[in-house]
Amino acid sequence: MRTVSTSVICFRSDFRLNDNPALREAIEAGPDGVVPMFVLDDHYWGPNGRTRLAYLMALLRDLDERVGGLTVVHGKPWEVVPRVARAVGATSVHVAADYGPYEKDRDDRVEKALADDDVALVRTGSSYAVAPGRVTKDDGSPYRVFTPFYRAWQQHGWRAPAPGVRSVPWIRADVRTKQIPDVDPPEGVTLPPLGEDAARRRWREYLDQVDEYDDLRDLPGRDATSRMSVHLKWGTIHPRTMLADLAERGSKGAEAYARELAFREFYADVVHHRPDTLAGYYDKRFEAMDYDEPGEDLQAWKDGRTGFPIVDAGMRQLLAEGWMHNRVRMIVASFLVKDLHLEWTVGADHFLDLLVDADPPSNQHGWQWVAGCGTDASPYFRIFNPTSQGKKFDPDGTYVRRWVPELRDVPKKFVHEPWKLDEPPADYPAPIVDHAEEREESLRRYAQLRS
């Protein structure tokens, strides 16, 4: 009599059926049935991350339809995952390897709990082309600077995309399940397209533009970025799939795009070796920096009412889309840290709350780069002038006019300096700070820190 073989696959941030090695392993281990499950983990259910949570719930509903019924359970993973495995008599539970500090501890506890029932936790693949910890210097130590990491990352290489699956013997576990909660995004935020089909469709469309990426990526007024960050964040496409397509292009733009994918993997590697930098400083010296207490200026920054058009356009885009152009992310971050003298963590927390694509390693280390306290740190004395940045990267004011309607009729000459008009728009605020003065103040504080 043949033994029935079933398995469980636990989705976390890998919401796709193609190029999913963990799923292929689950099918091989469970030819008689694979239980697709998701754990509503209280660790991720807090006051912050509202946009991501709303997007995640929508993703779960999409996946629920694709697999014909997702087993959704609520509780501590190390308690509920074994319960589901026991309910279906699974001999193995399959996941993609996760590398965050909480995630590694969680999976270790799940593995130990499953072992009590003689069930294996099988980690296969990850959400990276090259898993964190794989790329090291010759002496085994991690890289602290991106460029040598990038060269070693390229030399290391990655596997080809995993073959797709034609059919999966999905089954549901006989356990009490939770309804997928309805979570609304913050008021005014429109969520982007979601799911594996949307990710692949957008990527196919963007490949026709990627050759121009290196020339256009810093121009927020042009629709020249891929908007694939949200799909990478939630694993509706794998970077390995994208890298394979980029390699076929062989253009300067494709190479520049692949380099940006490597940045995501670099920051994940940094956090793998330095998990403390998810909440604290990579360069501990900057903990002693003289920062101001958040006040009305912080709210003006959040609301897009600073009086600096490119800053306000970016912050209003964030409020409307849960997303912001990458060049503008650097500009608004510099303004918060260098013009308002607020600690980088204040801005990083705000981004984590509202960005639909917020990837903690990239978010935290992107902010630390601007603040001068991270890896590959931009020197603290490199301070973005929001006006000159606007003129350089949005020369016609297209981006500003799109998000700051008060300035739509302002002539090009003044769109980044409306305060120079004889009659500035009455409904647009004057600059809340003098950039030249605040630049000098930032340099004074930096000199004080160094001394």
Distance from C-alpha of 319 to C-alpha of 137, rounded to nearest angstrom: 41
What three-state secondary structure class fits 36? Answer: strand
227 belongs to an annotated ligand binding site: yes
Of 240, 242, 212, which is closest to residue 225 (Cα–Cα)?
212
225 belongs to an annotated ligand binding site: yes
291 belongs to an annotated ligand binding site: no
251 belongs to an annotated ligand binding site: no
Whether 111 and 97 have beta carbons less than 8 Å apart is answered as: no
Whether 339 and 433 have beta carbons less than 8 Å apart is answered as: yes
261 belongs to an annotated ligand binding site: yes
Handedness of CA 114, 115, 119, 125 (dihedral sign): positive
Q: Structure tokens of 97?
A: 């390897």
257 belongs to an annotated ligand binding site: yes
61 CB-contact burial (10 Å; exposed 0-12 / middle 13-18 / buried 19+): middle
260 belongs to an annotated ligand binding site: yes
107 belongs to an annotated ligand binding site: no
Residues 6+ apart with CB under 8 A from 206: 226, 227, 228
Give phi and psi for 253, each to the nearest 5: -65, -40
228 belongs to an annotated ligand binding site: yes
Whether 323 and 230 have beta carbons less than 8 Å apart is answered as: yes
263 belongs to an annotated ligand binding site: yes
213 belongs to an annotated ligand binding site: yes
265 belongs to an annotated ligand binding site: yes
Residues 6+ apart with CB under 8 A from 155: none
Distance from C-alpha of 421 to C-alpha of 137, rounded to nearest angstrom: 56
Q: Structure tokens of 360?
A: 């903690």
351 belongs to an annotated ligand binding site: no
229 belongs to an annotated ligand binding site: yes
144 belongs to an annotated ligand binding site: no
359 belongs to an annotated ligand binding site: yes
Give phi and psi for 323, each to the nearest 5: -155, 155
Give the residue ranges of the annotated binding site.
213, 225-229, 257, 260-267, 357-359
Give the residue ranges of the annotated binding site for FAD.
213, 225-229, 257, 260-267, 357-359
